[in-house]
Amino acid sequence: MHDDQLGLDTRWVGFLLLGIVLMICGGAAVWLPSKSTVATSTVLGAVLAIAGAVTIVQTFQVKEWAGFVWQLLCGAAEVVGGLLIWLNPIKGAAAITLLVAIVLVAQGLAQLGLAFKIRPQRGWGWLGLAGLACIAISAMLVLRFPFPNVSAPGAMAGVALILAGIAYMILAVGRLKARSEPPS
């Protein structure tokens, strides 16, 4: 059965709110870590964990959705990665950089899986683009390893969260538009 026939097109507000939360967390990751070395990993870990928790909560609002498992994996990657970073804030810039790179690869792969799972829906391409951006940002972190600036991994992870937020907002708009169209 198609997702819109399951009544999921009425849940566009959840996707919109998730997009907004991801953008706010991404903005915090970009802006706050530049304030101090310890704040980099502490803030980055906290915003990733918060973003992941909100993603998981929103995922359980759309259990019937074709992208349920993949979105759940995105949230889980963010929560686990965020907690690992937050619990070890002073392990050194190199460890933080590699951990952020690993979290971004996991998040990017989950977002790509989600995008392909929901492919016929509006906005799927933006989720795919956000997944590719996560993987590209991860590659940039690894290629520039060891990173000379501790705050850069947090800022780069913030950009990935902002892109994911935009993707979810576009997905919400697509679901809203689907509500107003007659069934085919």
Q: Which residue has the tokens 């909560």?
A: 57
Q: Tell me: the pLDDT tens digits for 164-173?
A: 999 989 989 8
Query: How far is Cα 180 from Cα 178, in angstroms, rounded to an integer?
Result: 5
CATH of the domain spanning 11-177: 1.25.40
Half-sphere exposure of 166 (CA within 13 A, CB side): 15
Is 148 or 171 the better-scoring residue by pLDDT? 171
- Quote the pLDDT of residue 84: 81
Q: Which residue has the tokens 């290629």?
A: 143
Per-chain mean pLDDT for the chain? 81
Cβ neighbours for 148, distance < 8 A, ≥ 6 positions apart: none
Query: How far is Cα 72 from Cα 78, in angstroms, rounded to an integer?
Result: 10
- Comparing CA positions, the residue from 133, 101, 103, 102 lying closest to residue 115 is 133
- Quote the pLDDT of residue 102: 86
User: Would the pTM count as exceeding 0.75?
Assistant: no
Q: Where are the domains of the chain?
A: 11-177
Find the range with the poorest average confidence among 68-82, 88-102, 124-138, 149-163: 88-102
